């Protein structure tokens, strides 16, 4: 082979080597870009702003802890045509619907007298002035729940989750229903006759035992709604107050719709920016939601109303109906029950809730006397699931963690 041929061969090998190297570099670059695309597409919704809550799934649990138990179609479907199974008066734990959704009595004693004290504040405290949350409390042992501890002096002491993230409030909704009704009709002593609105109560709802034709006052309806979490009382109150707001409402459904409109108007007036109400009882509806930020305002407004504050702290009460018979009301808040293992003498209210989509919920109000002067600590827990009574034990733990702290 001549010298010229050897040089040509060497040059050809060099060219082929350079070309191969270029191909390798190009493939690697494409692989990197593909890898980046795979990573970005795998980001979960919680990494994006304005996240909407993905509701927790249904887990096995003891049925005696339920407030409202969805069954059948969603709230946006046509109303059910049947109300309670019969017209006899029965305790709230004998709710209609599937047998497994009935609620057993949770309480057996009378609420301590201190629950009737007058409010400490004249108006709700804006959450925007809260201090930076403390971080000493351990996380809530459940599946991504939301939680807060807020004091009546305007301090946010603890938060788990996004304050503006949408969540399902379940029967905590009834605090808004009570305040809306009081604005519309006050503590009206007029006789309210239970009517066709009972047909709007969904299967599996917790009820107070109302029957068509029963006669109660507005105050008694609020008691039945807040103490025993009666969805029947919520709809009866909504229909009555809704007709006051819209005298042209001819049907029970139209009257309740008018009331729900007033609930949303109440929210707007009270600076609730992340809530939307679709019904008066909190039965699950995908368009019925709130936020921790809004529910802190709701809790303060409820405790600022003397009647709601007193009612939300009652553990057990017998209501004598004007139409005859009685209602036996028992609180769904076991923190008020002296015979319960989760009883807390510092608790003075407020409201529990449950649906499979919302999980176990509670806003509990505690009297904190360990701080300089007396204040209320509001403990909110939403989306807990799987362990019976966890909302009560965790509420007490968080109260003890932050009592006396600023």
Band of residue 140 on the pLDDT scale cut at 50, 70, 90 = low
Q: Considering the chain, what percentage of its residues have pLDDT values greater than 90?
A: 59
For residue 237, the number of C-alpha atoms closer than 13 Å in the C-beta half-sphere is 39
pLDDT at 227: 98
- pLDDT exceeds 80 at position 374: yes
Least confident of 186-190, 222-226, 343-347: 186-190
What is the rounded end-to-end Cα distance, in angstroms, of the chain?
Answer: 93
Band of residue 151 on the pLDDT scale cut at 50, 70, 90 = very high
Q: Taking residues 105-122, report their average pLDDT.
A: 30
pLDDT at 12: 56
pLDDT at 187: 75
pLDDT at 323: 78
pLDDT at 386: 77
Output the pTM of the full model: 0.70
Higher-pLDDT residue of 216, 14: 216
Q: Which range is most confident: 28-42, 279-293, 385-399?
A: 279-293
pLDDT at 139: 55
pLDDT at 8: 53
pLDDT at 32: 37
pLDDT at 388: 74
Band of residue 147 on the pLDDT scale cut at 50, 70, 90 = very high
> Bridge partners of 118?
none
Tell me: the pLDDT tens digits for 12-52?
A: 555 455 555 554 444 333 333 333 222 222 212 222 222 22
Band of residue 406 on the pLDDT scale cut at 50, 70, 90 = confident
Q: Taking residues 218-231, report their average pLDDT.
A: 97
- pLDDT exceeds 50 at position 303: yes
Q: Taking residues 397-403, report their average pLDDT.
A: 96
Least confident of 35-44, 105-114, 229-238, 300-309: 35-44
């Amino acid at each position: 082979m001549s010298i010229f041929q050897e040089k040509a061969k060497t040059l050809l090998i060099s060219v082929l080597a350079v070309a191969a190297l270029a191909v390798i570099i190009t493939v690697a670059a494409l692989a990197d870009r593909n890898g980046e695309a795979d990573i970005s597409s795998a980001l979960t919704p919680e990494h994006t702003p304005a996240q909407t809550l993905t509701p927790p799934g249904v887990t096995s649990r003891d049925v005696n802890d339920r407030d409202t138990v969805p069954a059948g179609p969603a709230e946006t479907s046509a109303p059910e045509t049947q109300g309670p199974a019969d017209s006899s008066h029965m305790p709230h734990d004998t709710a209609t619907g599937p047998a497994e959704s009935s609620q057993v009595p949770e309480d057996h004693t009378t609420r301590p007298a201190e629950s009737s004290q007058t409010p400490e504040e004249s108006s709700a405290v804006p959450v925007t002035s809260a201090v930076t949350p403390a971080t000493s409390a351990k996380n809530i042992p459940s599946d991504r729940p939301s939680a807060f501890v807020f004091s009546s002096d305007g301090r946010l002491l603890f938060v788990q989750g996004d304050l503006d993230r949408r969540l399902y409030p379940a029967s905590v909704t009834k605090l808004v229903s009570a305040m809306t009704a009081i604005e519309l009709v006050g503590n009206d002593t007029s006789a309210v006759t239970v009517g066709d609105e009972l047909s709007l109560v969904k299967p599996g709802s917790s009820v107070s035992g109302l029957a068509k034709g029963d006669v109660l006052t507005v105050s008694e309806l609020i008691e039945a709604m807040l103490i025993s979490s009666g969805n029947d009382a919520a709809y009866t109150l909504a229909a009555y107050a809704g007709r006051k707001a819209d005298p042209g409402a001819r049907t029970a459904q139209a009257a309740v719709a008018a009331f729900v409109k007033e609930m949303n108007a109440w929210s707007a007036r009270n600076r609730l920016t992340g809530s939307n109400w679709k019904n008066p009882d909190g039965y699950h509806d995908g368009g019925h939601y709130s936020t921790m930020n809004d529910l802190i305002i709701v809790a303060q407004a409820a405790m600022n109303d003397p009647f709601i504050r007193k009612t939300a702290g009652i553990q057990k009460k017998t209501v004598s109906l004007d139409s005859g018979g009685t209602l036996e009301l028992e609180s769904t808040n076991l923190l008020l029950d002296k015979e319960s293992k989760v009883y807390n003498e510092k608790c003075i209210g407020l409201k529990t809730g449950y649906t499979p989509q919302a999980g176990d919920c509670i806003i509990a109000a505690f009297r904190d006397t360990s701080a300089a002067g007396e204040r209320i600590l509001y403990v909110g827990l939403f989306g807990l699931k799987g362990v019976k009574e966890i909302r009560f034990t965790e509420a007490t733990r968080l109260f003890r963690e932050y009592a006396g702290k600023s």
